[in-house]
Amino acid sequence: SPVPATTEPYPRRQYCRWPCECPRAPPRCPPGVSLVTDGCECCKACARQRGESCTEADTCDFHRGLYCDYSGDRPRYEIGVCAQIVGVGCVLNGVRYKNGETFQPNCKYNCTCINGAVGCVPMCTNSRPPLVWCPNPKLIKMAGKCCEQWVCDDSRKIRKTSPRHISSAAYEGEDEAWQKNCIVHTSPWSPCSKTCGLGISTRISNDNDQCRLLKESRLCNMRPCEVDITQHIKPGKKCLAVYRENEPMNYTISGCVSKSTYRPKYCGVCTDNRCCTPYKSKTIEVRFQCPDGTEFSWKIMWINACFCNLNCRNPNDIFADLAHYYDYSEIAN
C-alpha cells in the first residue's frame, strides 16, 4: 500500500536569544517614535512604524495602534509588516473619520479617532489669565485670532494692588522640554492641605529616567496656628502679607527634629475679605534626626513672598484652578 506523503514543518528562524544581551544605553528614537521593550522581553528598542518590517523581536508601535501582519509571509510567518489595527471609525458633527485619523474640527482642538472614540487636545494652551490679584478675569474674542484672550475688567485694581519687582518672564508660556524622547512635564504644586500648621502639598512629574508620571510630596506650613498674626498688622492697615518669627527654629516631625535651624517666612492674614497666599516659593531639602539615631530627609516648601488678594478658596478644592485659572502656574521651583 502507498505511504502517505508527509509535510515537513518549516523551521522558523528564532530572532530572540537568551540570556538577554542588551547595549549599555537604550537607543535614541526619533521624535514621536515609542521606546518599548522588544518582543523578547529583553531590551529597549525603537518601535517599528507603519509599513516597516517586524519580527517576533522587532515589535510594532502599539501606541499608534499598529500590529505585525504576517499574512504576506506564508508559510514561514517570520517577517511581517506593521499595519494599522482595523477599528471602528468615528462620527463627529456629522462628519465620519477613519480609525487612527487625526483631524481638527476647528482651530481650537486637535482630535484623533481611536476605535470609535474621539480624543481631543486643546490648541489654545498658552492663554493665561491675568495675575492672581485681578478679581474679575474674562475671556474675550480678539479680531483675527482663534483663541480668546484673558483681560481684567478693572485695570485700576491691578495697578493699585500689583506687587512690585516681579519679572514678567515668570508669567510667560514655557516651551515643552525634551529629555531622552520624553516630553518633560511637571504640574504646579497643589495648595497646602492646611491653612495653618504643617500640611502636605503634592504635584505630578515625569522628570525621571523612566519618563513615568509620579506623585511628589512636600511639607508646607502657610502660617503658625498658635500665633495671632493680626496683632502684628500695622495701624491703619488691613493686611500683613508676610509674617516671620524673630528667632530661628527647628522643624519637627513625629518627634524627629531638623538637624539645622531655620527662620521661615509665613503668609500673613487680613482683617477684611482678602486672603494671603504664596506667589513665589521654592522647595528645600531638610534633614531630620530621630531619638533612636536614624535620619531621613523631607522636601519642605520655602515661602519667599506672599500676596493678599480676593481669590480666596478652600485649599482642597481641586476644581477651582480649572474653572478660574486655566493653565496658571505658581512661580515655584
* Residues 292 and 241 placed together within one structural domain of the fold: yes
Domain membership of residue 165 (yes or no) is: no
Residue % of the chain over a pLDDT of 90: 18
Q: What CATH number should be reported for the domain holding residue 208?
A: 2.10.90
pLDDT value for 188:
83
Give the number of other CB atoms < 10 A from CB of residue 69.
15
Structural domain includes residue 188: no
Structural domain includes residue 332: no
Contacts of 89-92 with C-beta under 8 Å, sequence gap 24+, read: 89/113, 89/116, 90/116, 90/117, 90/118, 92/118
**Whether the predicted pLDDT of 159 surpasses 50:** no
Q: What is the rounded CA–CA span in Å between residue 321 and residue 137?
A: 13
Higher pLDDT, 310 or 49: 49
Number of Cβ within 10 Å of residue 200's Cβ equals 13
Q: Is residue 78 part of a domain?
A: yes
For the chain, give percent helix, strand, coil, nearest 5: 10, 35, 55
Beta-bridge partners for 282? 302
Place of cell 512635564: 185
Number of independent structural domains in the chain: 4
Higher pLDDT, residue 123 or 69:
69
pLDDT at 285: 93
Which three cell numbers mark 107? 482651530
Domain-embedded: residue 320: no
**Cα 53 to Cα 48: distance, rounded to the nearest angstrom:** 7
- Low-confidence winner among 66-70, 116-120, 143-147 (lowest mean pLDDT): 116-120
Q: What is the pLDDT of residue 311?
A: 66
Cell of 5: 506523503
Which set of grid coordinates corresponds to residue 276?
494671603
Residue 162 has pLDDT above 60, yes or no: no
pLDDT at 322 over 90: no
The residues that bridge with 98 in the sheet, in sequence order, are none
- Domain holding 115: CATH number? 2.10.70
CB 197 within 8 A of CB 225: yes
Q: Do residue 138 and residue 215 come from a single domain?
A: no
> Quick one: 110 and 150 in the same domain?
no
Which of 66, 85, 104 is the last residue in one of the domains?
85
pLDDT per position as a tens digit, 257-278? 999 999 999 999 988 888 888 8
User: Which of 272, 275, 301 lies closest to 286, judged by CA?
Assistant: 301
Determine, yes or no, domain membership for 68: yes
Query: Which string of DSSP letters, residue by residue, matches 151-212?
Result: EES-HHHHHHHPPSS--GGGGSPPPPEESSS-EE-BPPPPPPS-SSSEEEEEEEE--STT--
Q: Return the closest-CA partner of residue 264 out of 250, 285, 279.
A: 250
Domain extent, residue 50, equals 12-85
The verdict on residue 321 lying in a domain is: no
Task: Mark whether 227 and 142 lie in a shared domain.
Answer: no
Residue 174, pLDDT above cutoff 60: no
What is the domain-level CATH number for residue 23? Answer: 4.10.40.20
C-alpha cell at 25: 544605553
Kindly tell me if the per-residue pLDDT of 20 is higher than 80. Answer: yes
pLDDT of 258: 92
The per-residue pLDDT of the chain, averaged, comes to 77
Cα 292 to Cα 16, 152, 194, distances in angstroms: 52, 56, 29
Q: How far apart are CA 262 and CA 246, in angstroms?
A: 11
In a domain, 316, yes or no: no
State pTM to two decimals: 0.45
Q: Which grid coordinates belong to 234?
A: 500695622
What is the predicted pLDDT for the residue at 321?
A: 43
- Range in 74-83, 105-114, 286-295 with the lowest mean pLDDT: 105-114
Residues 141 and 226 in one domain: no
